[in-house]
Amino acid sequence: MNLPCDVLGIPKPNVTWYRNGEELDLSEKRLQLQEDNSLLIKKLLISDSGMYQCFARNEAGESSLSTWLKVKKRRNERSLATKFMRLRSSGERHNKKPSFVYVA
């Protein structure tokens, strides 16, 4: 997941990222501050959900941008397909393999 933080300023602003009001520890391997100041979050976890804020500061002042991120549990696609699988057969005797239809 890449969260953008578009900032301009002279001198170049320093960017700090926060989640739920707490500064993020960018030494954590899953979190990376990109050259364009966006925040890259690798291997999202449900616990990554929350309000993210990008603060840009320089001698002229400060500006911020906020966004909400909600991470949901991934559906188990295999179990869903198994749950709705039905066998279709014409009742005739033949050497053909049965066909499967997936119903949503």
Predicted local confidence at residue 34, as pLDDT: 96
Question: What is the 8-class DSSP label of residue 46?
Answer: G
Query: What average pLDDT is seen over the chain?
Result: 80
**pLDDT tens-place string over residues 55-74:** 999 999 999 999 999 998 87
Question: 48 is in which domain, residue-wise?
Answer: 2-69
Q: Considering its fold, how many domains does the chain have in total? A: 1
CATH of the domain at 32: 2.60.40.10
Predicted local confidence at residue 97, as pLDDT: 47
Phi, psi of 80 (to 5 degrees): -65, -45
Read off the pTM: 0.68
Give domain status of residue 14, yes or no: yes
Cα–Cα distance measured from residue 7 to residue 60, given in angstroms and rounded to the nearest whole number: 13
Predicted local confidence at residue 78, as pLDDT: 56
Predicted local confidence at residue 83, as pLDDT: 45
